[in-house]
A and B are shown apart, each in its own frame.
Chain A
Amino acid sequence: MADQQELLQEDVIEETIEPQTSGAIINIYDKEEEQDNSKGIKKFFKNIVKKVKAFTRRTIIKISSSKVAKGLKVAWEKGILPALKIIFYPIVLFKRKVYDRMSSKGQKTFVSIMFLMPVLIGFVIFYLYPLIMSLIYAFSEVSVEPGKGIVVLFGQHTVKDGDNVSVVRDLFYNFKELFTGKTGMLPVKNPTSGAEESISLLQALAQTSWQTILDTIVITIFSLLIAVMLNGNFKGRAFARAVFFLPVILNSEAIAAATKSTEAIDSMLNSVGSNALTNIFDMKTFMTSVGIPAKLVTFLNGITSTIYSTISYAGVQILIFLAAIQSVPGHLYEAAKIEGATKYEEFWKITLPMVSPMILTVVVYTIVDSFLRSDLNEYVQQLAKNPLYGFHAAASWAYIIVSLAILGLALVVLKKVVFYYDEK
């Protein structure tokens, strides 16, 4: 009993102390928390959080009042702090002698460069160097030998034809092989018959580009619509927003790969007529059993599957659009309202032009993203796993050039649409 009372007293004391310590910082978020009287699960979790906080505070007080802590404090003051001062003395000196004497603009530039330093270092070491090397690899034969490391033969290729080994001097050997020879064959599932077919890299590039263009148009329009919708004021907006970003979280390459390896078996079993899992759980069967006409069901099913994949790939785009819509100055809408504009007109005459610079960003993001998701990328990665490094580099440069071409096309098309609003 006595222990409990002590604990209770401690709690009371801490609670009386609390407002003083946290009162120094005025915080909007905390005020909100104090105001709402939540019930049920929320209250339960809040209580847990409160208890955990009280516990940590108590333990911190206990630890800080112990002898070890005092000893550490003395050590920090007498030993470590002076040592740190000596170690960092050059930096302090630099600040006093150089940085403080700079003009305000010079200081800004200096700080800016310092802030950019990590990214610049990473860019040079982890990105630029591999990029240049990959360009060299694309025109050469690359192999890894245990003793020597990477061996690069620029513009040279050894060709084995039975027992004959000959050296071919051809700069574009990798590209030629990929576009015409066997290494360029890419296994692709035929959408109508389901059989595996192999197409050359050239065909694959064309297919992927076409798919990318379609994807980009659909996703851009869709995400803009969703963003406009989510921006409006309605009941359950927070819930809707939370749900709409769920696919971003659940969209995982690994899960897709895991279910893909079993998909082939499922589809085979389906064609035989056995009850495969995917079939049982399909919305299709569910809806036909409810009594919806078959044509409508197939139509709806097609739409839902596309919608799901579209949403799961449109997360970032929706986010970018939402941010852009929110940064449209409110007085424009007010003026439009006074002039008697409808919501429809507001969208076409205010929201769309103001958001248009972001359309460019979204289009660029979508193009890059859909290229990354394509079969082409998978195939290029496959080349890397078989040690065909030269071919991989060549294929990836073909990939880069095509994706850049599509980006350029998009930029040219969008340049006429984009409108820059200048407030000054």
Chain B
Amino acid sequence: MMKNNEKTPSKARLKYEQILADLRNPVKKAVRSQKISNKLGSLFRAILIFGLAFVIIFPIFQQITLAFRHPQDVQNPLVIWIPEKWSILNFKIAFVLLKYEVSLFNNIRVSLVCMVGQICCSVLAGYALSRLKFKGSNIIFILIMMTFIIPPQAVSVSRMLYFANFDILGLVKLFNDGNTISLSGKRIILYIMSFTGQGINSAIFVFLFRQFFRGVPVELEESAEIDGAGVVRTFWSVMLPNARGVMVTVALFSFVWQWNDVYYTELLGISDNFPLLTMQLKNTAEWLPSLMKLYGLDNLVDPEIRGNALFTSLIANTAGFMMCLPLLIGYLFVQKLFVEGIERTGIVG
């Protein structure tokens, strides 16, 4: 075959030979199979990511279209996606029922203060537990993790009673004529707890910071020490600026968790004179008809629709969307910082 070809070397034949040789070449074979597997892998990844992103984003669109639907269309089988009658009536009703103008700012205030507290105490603890080790610091770490493993939800009654009759080692009784003070219903207790590492999932934040500081190279610290920086100075001007990524992560999580929190606000009975979005939302879903009567919203909607259970669902949905809206908008702005933060969360020099 080969000899025949040498006599009459047509261009097409040569090309064919070339391709055959390429196909048989083991090196090129390996390269090809790697390329194909890479392509297939990235295709699979693209499909998976696209599908999961769809699963995540779909309910949000659903909620938005539902929120803009007029209550009259509640049982209209023709309306599936685009409302026949666009209206912001749902928003109006939810706005009043949530006491949105007050509770939104209350929420922001509580979440911000708790966020700052959580970051402060967990960054300090995380640094101390990873870089300033002494005998027994591992035991302290285990104790801190215990606050997460045995969650405060499990001891909520004794906590509730404890806050209702607050007394530290009889000291409060000593100075208060033998009476304990009641801390329930006061939001300052939330702040104190987040500044002393007992906020929502504080142990996780301590863990994240500890994990990060463990990864920072020792040389950085040593060079700071050689330059004459003390322990606090090293922490403040060398380690802390490096921890920016983790801090953003922790800030986002603590803010969001505090925003969505029901357990603590309910346990401490904070919502009575200090409306928070979560509690208002819960009340709205439970007592919608009577609340509407209370706020004089009855004439906005026909009585027939008002009695419909689906109307309650519609309003609850809208109110839930309104509760999430500030977070969503905030996330749009912080998202870039957060994603960058994730990249710096586990960095090793």
Point out the residues of chain A lying under 8 angstroms from B82, CB to CB: none
Point out the residues of chain B lying under 8 angstroms from A150, CB to CB: 161, 165
Q: Does B151 contact A (CB under 8 A)?
A: yes
Q: Tell me what chain A mostly uses at the interface: helix, strand, loop, or mixed.
A: helix
Q: Are A243 and B249 in contact (CB under 8 A)?
A: no
Chain A residue nearest to B117 in the complex (CB): A118
Point out the residues of chain B lying under 8 angstroms from A254, CB to CB: 260, 262, 277-279, 281-282, 320, 323
Q: Does A269 contact B (CB under 8 A)?
A: yes
A136 to chain B, nearest CB (A): 8
Point out the residues of chain A lying under 8 angstroms from B348, CB to CB: 326-327, 329
Q: Using known A-B contacts A238-B339, A258-B320, A327-B346, determine if residue A247 contacts B285 with beta carbons closer than 8 Å.
A: no
Q: Pick out which of these stretches binds chain A: B17-25, B50-58, B293-301.
A: B50-58
Q: Are B148 and A368 in contact (CB under 8 A)?
A: yes
**Residue from the list A115, A246, A308, A329 in contact with B127, Cβ < 8 A:** A115
Point out the residues of chain A lying under 8 angstroms from B45, CB to CB: 229, 232, 234
Q: Are A283 and B58 in contact (CB under 8 A)?
A: yes
Determine the distance from Cα of A325 to Cα of B154 in the docked complex, in whole angstroms.
33
Q: Are B262 and A257 in contact (CB under 8 A)?
A: yes
Determine the distance from Cα of A4 to Cα of B37 in the docked complex, in whole angstroms.
64
Interface of chain A residues 374 through 410 with chain B (CB within 8 A): 377, 380-381, 384, 389, 392-393, 396-397, 399-400, 403-404, 407
Q: Does B116 contact A (CB under 8 A)?
A: no
Point out the residues of chain A lying under 8 angstroms from B154, CB to CB: 134, 380, 396-397, 399-400
Q: Are A130 and B133 in contact (CB under 8 A)?
A: no
**Residue from the list B57, B160, B197, B345 in contact with A322, Cβ < 8 A:** B345
B110 to chain A, nearest CB (A): 14
Determine the distance from Cα of A340 to Cα of B26 in the docked complex, in whole angstroms.
14
Determine the distance from Cα of A104 to Cα of B157 in the docked complex, in whole angstroms.
45
Q: Does B336 contact A (CB under 8 A)?
A: yes
Q: Using known A-B contacts A277-B66, A372-B151, determine if residue A252 contacts B324 with beta carbons closer than 8 Å.
A: yes
Q: Does A324 contact B (CB under 8 A)?
A: yes
Q: Using known A-B contacts A242-B335, A261-B316, A311-B55, determine if residue A255 contacts B153 with beta carbons closer than 8 Å.
A: no
Interface of chain B residues 283 through 316 with chain A (CB within 8 A): 284-286, 309-310, 312-314, 316
Q: Are B158 and A125 in contact (CB under 8 A)?
A: no
B206 to chain A, nearest CB (A): 7
Interface of chain A residues 119 through 146 with chain B (CB within 8 A): 119-123, 125-127, 129-131, 133-134, 137, 142, 144
Q: Does B174 contact A (CB under 8 A)?
A: no
**Residue from the list B74, B143, B144, B160 in contact with A384, Cβ < 8 A:** B160
Q: Using known A-B contacts A119-B121, A122-B197, determine if residue A280 contacts B155 with beta carbons closer than 8 Å.
A: no
Q: Are A308 and B132 in contact (CB under 8 A)?
A: no
Q: Using known A-B contacts A111-B132, A265-B309, determine if residue A325 contacts B180 with beta carbons closer than 8 Å.
A: no
* B contacts with A, residue count (CB < 8 A): 118
Point out the residues of chain B lying under 8 angstroms from A316, CB to CB: 204, 253
Q: Using known A-B contacts A108-B134, A229-B48, A281-B80, determine if residue A116 contacts B128 with beta carbons closer than 8 Å.
A: yes
| Residue-wise interface mask of B (161-193) relative to A, using a CB-CB cutoff of 8 A (1 in contact, 0 not) | 110110010000000000010000000000001
B144, B153, B323 pick with most chain A CB within 10 angstroms? B153
Q: Are B59 and A252 in contact (CB under 8 A)?
A: no
Q: Are B196 and A131 in contact (CB under 8 A)?
A: no
Q: Are A308 and B282 in contact (CB under 8 A)?
A: no
Determine the distance from Cα of A232 to Cα of B46 in the docked complex, in whole angstroms.
12
Q: Are A229 and B55 in contact (CB under 8 A)?
A: no
Q: Does B129 contact A (CB under 8 A)?
A: yes
Point out the residues of chain A lying under 8 angstroms from B253, CB to CB: 248, 316
Q: Number of contacts between A and B (CB, 8 Å)?
A: 297
Q: Does B70 contact A (CB under 8 A)?
A: no
Q: Does B238 contact A (CB under 8 A)?
A: no
Q: Using known A-B contacts A126-B196, A265-B313, A277-B74, determine if residue A137 contacts B278 with beta carbons closer than 8 Å.
A: no
Determine the distance from Cα of A254 to Cα of B285 in the docked complex, in whole angstroms.
10
**Residue from the list A249, A251, A280 in contact with B79, Cβ < 8 A:** A280
Q: Does A215 contact B (CB under 8 A)?
A: no
A247 to chain B, nearest CB (A): 6
Q: Does B274 contact A (CB under 8 A)?
A: no
Q: Does B231 contact A (CB under 8 A)?
A: yes
Q: Does B5 contact A (CB under 8 A)?
A: no
Q: Are A393 and B124 in contact (CB under 8 A)?
A: no
**Residue from the list B58, B59, B144, B282 in contact with A258, Cβ < 8 A:** B282
**Residue from the list A144, A249, A319 in contact with B345, Cβ < 8 A:** A319
In the assembled complex, 10 residue pairs joining A and B whose CB atoms fall closer than 8 Å, in A order, are A112-B134, A113-B134, A119-B122, A120-B140, A253-B278, A254-B282, A257-B285, A258-B316, A323-B211, A372-B153
Which residues from chain A sit less than 8 Å from chain B, CB to CB? Answer: 104, 107-109, 111-113, 115-116, 118-123, 125-127, 129-131, 133-134, 137, 142, 144, 149-150, 226, 229, 232, 234, 238, 240-255, 257-259, 261-262, 265-266, 269, 274-278, 280-281, 283, 286, 304, 307-308, 311, 316, 319-320, 322-327, 329, 340, 342-343, 361, 364-365, 368, 371-372, 377, 380-381, 384, 389, 392-393, 396-397, 399-400, 403-404, 407
The 6 closest A-B pairs by CB, nearest first: A122-B196, A323-B346, A112-B132, A119-B197, A258-B285, A252-B260
Besides A258-B281, A322-B346, A393-B155, 10 other CB < 8 A contacts?
Answer: A123-B143, A144-B161, A234-B45, A249-B331, A257-B282, A257-B285, A258-B285, A269-B309, A316-B204, A384-B157
